[in-house]
Chains A and B, each alone.
Chain A
Amino acid sequence: MSFMQPSPVKYACSCGILNPINKLFFCRHCPKLRCGFCVCHEIESHFCSNCLENIPSSEARHKKNCCANCFDCPCCQHTLSARATTVAVVRKTEEAKEGESGAPEAAPSPKPSAMPTTKKMYYLSCLSCRWTTRDVGIPDQGVATGTWPDNECLYQVRFNTLMEYYQTVVLQEKQEKQEFLRRKAPKPHKFPSLTDRTGLTVSLIRRQIGWTDKSLPKPKPVNITSAEATADVEALPADIFTQPINLRNITTIAQRHSQPADQPTAVSKLYPQRRSLWIKRSLRCRQCEHNLIKPEYHPTSIKYRIQLFASAHVPEVVMVRCEQPLQPGQSNAILLKFTNPTMYDMTISVLDAPPQEVQINADAFQQACRIKEEAVTSSPLLKSSGVTLARQNSTREVKREVKEKANATIVPLESEFVLNQRDDSKEFDEDVQAPIEEPKFIVWRKGNKVLLRLQFTPSPELQTGNEVTLAFCMQYTYVNTVTNTQDKKEPTTHALYSRIFIHAGDIVN
């Protein structure tokens, strides 16, 4: 598998986007190919990538998705590390001993007996650009973590009142909506209550008993002063065009963006920034709502609890080479290697068009394509993944046309062939397989791999330098070990197909 270069072989996902096989997933329940675009992304857990602490989502929201202990360098966005110095406390306030060390726990004071009142003080330092918290005058702290001050920005109070206000507005609107719904559809009680007949309302009874009125006091939004635009802006200083600027004192764009609250222009205003949390993501099929990817919860683990990568279920096609230089309108052949990743034998046929039963409803979803094109592009799945944890129940099958057009005609293989199951122990077997009668197109076969020769003709209209794209339908049998119904337990066999596009190369003259 080509690791660094884009693969020339692309699979059409069931949503119509082309992807190499290592970016695709396979839903065993549908059973269909899925790509990152047509699955539902969910946040599994939040964690800090530096201290690897797992943080519950409610706490993460409370902490504004930042780690409590780790800081990023405001200068180069690298992680800051705590460094220790030994300081004599009583006699002199400044550092008496230069006892600096890489690790905070190392380097005790050289003469502990001579200096009885020494104390370890910590400061944060960037190992990449050597920025330290002393640069902005943050005093050294007695403990390494937890006590670093947050830099409050100028508008913090205003920001908090605005947030409070809008939270109450949201609450109020929600209550009003509920009230409206309740009034609109009064729940017909099965048994008429006593109070209905007597004309007593609940609140009346409550008042008679002496309780307070039950109806909640409506949350009144606190009044906020609206922002006012002003026309008088401070004039530029007179020397702005004459004074040469010292670029070292001016922050870069990246530095300003990393500190969005105040976006300082001077380097001296850079403060350590709390490190943003990372997430572990689980992917869910949007049609059947089964998980495709579910990582292990613990941040230190890189394993999965559920992993349905397409490369473990769908036969992999690798382009080996073309037999001749590509010429327009000239018959050529391409060598393709098929690999079976599953534990069951596969029967594969290479067709130039989708199999019959699929073609029938092709028209139906052609129609749907045009409507649902918008649904795909505007689907909020990627953008909102950070905002909402709610599951998006889109059960509509979103189809789109495959935009890629093939410009070569292939000669479909005359017969289907069997791709043997994957057997890791077979590689060590000594006995040679008895040569069996193979179809003509099979060049070579070993274990679960087959090299075959596929004939094609690039279209005669192609010019020099145009890229030749082959397209074919690979139909394969897939043995599904999971069953959707309860009563059936034995594995079922499906005949699946996927369209494959191969960039064979450029036309040579």
Chain B
Amino acid sequence: MPVENNIKILPKSVVCDESTLTGDITFSTGCVVHPSATVIAEAGPIIFGENCIIEEYATIAHELAEGASWDANNILSIGSHNVFEVGCTVKAARIGDKNVFESKSFVGKGVTVSSGCVIGAGIRMRTVQLLPENTIVYGQQALQREAIDKQGSQTLQIDFLRKVLPNYHHLRKPNYDPKKARSVV
């Protein structure tokens, strides 16, 4: 392990204590991380945008390429309003905004996910490719189509989780306040 765990949690995000977080990870405001979710920042820092949901057994990994080592500049930036549903594994190179990774989906290395995409349940994507905006991958044959309508926002779900999760789980305290940080500087 190149660096010790350095988890930054901004205010208003709910990160359960039972989740597995390794490496340099930043959660922006409003993120929800369920228990037993896994985030591994091996090759470089991972930065989550606002209002992301990471559900149970979801794995988000920033894996080392062969022969490479920790590089603080190799940032995996994940946009805002993404949903990682139960049991998905995401190793994508870059993730934009408002994507949904449905249950048990697998997105391998070298896949670049832009914005508004939906990876359907159980889909396995391994080849290097770029998913254009609003792509929906669905079905057994992993057919792709372009959504015309925007995906519904997850605000209701986030509000609900923010209310319910603290009742039953220990949380990691938000440890980084941008306002305070600025005042210090």
Residues of A within 8 A of B (CB): 75-76, 98-101, 107, 128-132, 134-135, 248-249, 252, 267
Contact = CB atoms under 8 A, between A and B. Distances in A.
A130 B83 CA distance: 15
A100 B157 CA distance: 10
Contacts of A99: 156
Listed residue (A99, A100, A267) with the most chain B CB atoms within 10 angstroms of its CB? A100
A128 B139 CA distance: 7
A129 B138 contact: yes
Contacts of B120: 128-129
B139 A129 contact: yes
Interface in B78-131: 118, 120
A107 B138 contact: no
Contacts of B138: 76, 128-130
21 contacts: A76-B139, A98-B153, A98-B156, A99-B156, A128-B120, A128-B138, A129-B120, A129-B136, A129-B138, A129-B139, A129-B145, A130-B118, A130-B136, A130-B138, A130-B151, A132-B149, A134-B148, A134-B149, A135-B147, A248-B144, A267-B146
Which range contains the number of B residues in contact with the other chain?
Answer: 10 to 19
Cβ-closest 4 pairs across A and B: A129-B138, A100-B152, A135-B148, A248-B146
Nearest to B156: A107
B65 interface: no
Nearest to A98: B153
A471 to B, nearest CB: 41
Interface of B: 118, 120, 136, 138-139, 143-149, 151-153, 155-156
A99 B157 CA distance: 11
B143 A76 contact: yes
Listed residue (B118, B120, B138, B144) with the most chain A CB atoms within 10 angstroms of its CB? B138
A268 to B, nearest CB: 8
Contacts of B155: 98
Contacts of A252: 143
B10 to A, nearest CB: 24
A267 B156 contact: no
Contacts of B151: 130
Nearest to A77: B139
A93 B132 CA distance: 31
Contact of A267 (B145, B149, B153): B145
A256 to B, nearest CB: 14
Given A76-B143, A128-B139, A129-B138, A135 B149 contact: yes
Given A76-B139, A130-B118, 19 more contacts: A98-B152, A98-B153, A98-B155, A100-B152, A100-B153, A101-B156, A128-B138, A128-B139, A129-B143, A130-B138, A134-B148, A134-B149, A135-B147, A135-B148, A248-B144, A248-B146, A249-B146, A252-B143, A267-B145
